[in-house]
Amino acid sequence: MVRVISNILNCIDNLALYPASHVISEYRSDLRKMVVGAYVVFYRLDEARKTVEVGYIIHGARNIERIIISNDRSPDPVFQDEDD
């Protein structure tokens, strides 16, 4: 498990080089997705602040659509605007 986590973290670190290189999520247009082994990392670009915000790291065997869509209907603590 440590190797899996290390691999995911390394891939997230590499987003600094080419943050827009991954596809836009089919579930939410404000998210991009990056596949890392059996996991899918969903993140958002903040062009103004030049940052990447990771919102979800989900195992690919899970019902990703249900997780993303159900969180989209309720307040999303991962992607709260700082003004909220």
pTM of structure: 0.81
Alpha-helix residue ranges (DSSP H) falling in 15-78 = 64-73
- Is residue 73's pLDDT more than 60? no
Helices (H), 1-84: 2-14, 64-73
Per-residue pLDDT tens for 24-63? 999 999 999 999 999 999 999 988 888 899 999 999 999 9
- Quick one: pLDDT at residue 54? 93
Q: What's the rounded mean pLDDT across residues 15-21?
A: 90
Domains of the chain: 2-76 (3.30.2310.20)
pLDDT surpassing 80 at residue 5: yes
Percent of the chain whose pLDDT exceeds 70: 83
d(CA 33, CA 27): 10
Partner residues linked to 46 by β-bridges: 51
